[in-house]
Amino acid sequence: MAEKRKPLEKVEEKTDNSAKQEALNAALKNIEKTFGKGAVMRLGDESAKMDVDVISTSSIGIDMALGIGGVPRGRIIEIYGPESSGKTTIALHIVAEAQKAGGNAAFIDAEHALDPVYAKALGVDVDNLIVSQPDTGEQALEILEALVRSGAIDVAVVDSVAALVPRAEIDGEMGDSHVGLQARLMSQALRKLAGIIKKSNTAAIFINQLREKVGVMYGNPEVTTGGRALKFYSSVRMDIRRIETLKKGTDMIGNRTRAKIVKNKMAPPFKTAEFDIMYGEGISREGDILDMAVELNIIKKSGSWFSYGEERLGQGRDKVKEYLKENPEFADAVEQKIRDHFAKKDEPEVPEEGSEALTKDQAEMAAELSDEDMDEFFELNEFEEE
């Protein structure tokens, strides 16, 4: 008969907290010595602060939909949508905002289609904008890596992922099959870039195009180019769609555009923003401010008339947009009120001094009680009805 095994002796855990702390500190010092300072840190340390810097998109609607007031720095952002929906326009506005704040911007023009005149009209300092028009996808991503590694770039735009053609495809002949080559290129590049982008605090914006999957009967047949890697590595993904053409008489003067935040690691996703993109001007700041102010009841709308307090601003949306354009100080004041509203909304509620709040269990219990029992409930829990 087989002998019974003796039960394994339990390893005694050290209960001395000071000994544990000394061992942990020694391990941390050893890691820092081996891998360099900052390789490991406590989340509460000043060096590990998680506050994210942002760059405005020039659209207050998109800034609020993003939940943090703009696109995050040190992260990867994907902007995609159909042709002529406003993807490059939004990217150029972000570049302009970064430059206004004294930052440097780079534009990797893989499509070879950047219009400097239009970029200048949007507020981009074209004289100081770093532009590259690479021959291959590998070259574009190597240039992007070198610029990001410098630590001197605040925002880098790649326009577009679909135009990042692998070298093998360039060297090959028309009709040659290169299955999965671009997806492999993007996956390899993003593995390297993600960490560098975070350390250099660069906002890396990838503009992407749409394709359609063949034979899809149910669900959305649309798919972005370059494989799935960009979807995973992106902290923010924006879907840009043109929803209406703006007209003045018979002339077409712009597009009404909708941006949907389909992925957001910085704030709750799936928020939308609508704004005007005017031909030759870009995003209409005045239209954006007006729409948000009406939504928040800062500017009141009665019929076709718009008023601020007792003052009537004008009849019709276009007239009020002109009024805001002619009175930039008033427009700035309204914009600040909108931003203050969202800032206040994000602040956690602090109970007044001397007051107490219901716990979760107490709230659930109160919901189940009848009106007659409420007095007794508040008395037992030492609360007073207001």
What is the enclosing helix (H) or strand (E) of 352? none
The dihedrals phi and psi of 210, each to the nearest 5 degrees, come to -110, 145
State the residue for tokens 């735009």: 157
Residue 116 marked in a binding site: no
Residue 199 marked in a binding site: no
* CA 378 and chain centroid, separation: 45
Residue 249 marked in a binding site: no
Give SS3 for 177.
coil
Residue 84 marked in a binding site: yes
Residue 88 marked in a binding site: yes
Q: What is the maximum span of the chain, computed from C-alpha positions, in angstroms?
A: 101
Residue 86 marked in a binding site: yes
* 316: amino acid identity, one letter: G
Q: CA 60, CA 63: separation in Å to the nearest integer?
A: 5
How many CB atoms lie under 10 A from the CB of residue 19?
Answer: 10
Under 8 Å between Cβ of 294 and 317: no
Residue 219 marked in a binding site: no
Q: Is the peptide bond before 132 cis (omega within 30 degrees of 0)?
A: no
Residue 231 marked in a binding site: no
Residue ranges of the annotated binding site for ATP are 81-88
Residue ranges of the annotated binding site are 81-88
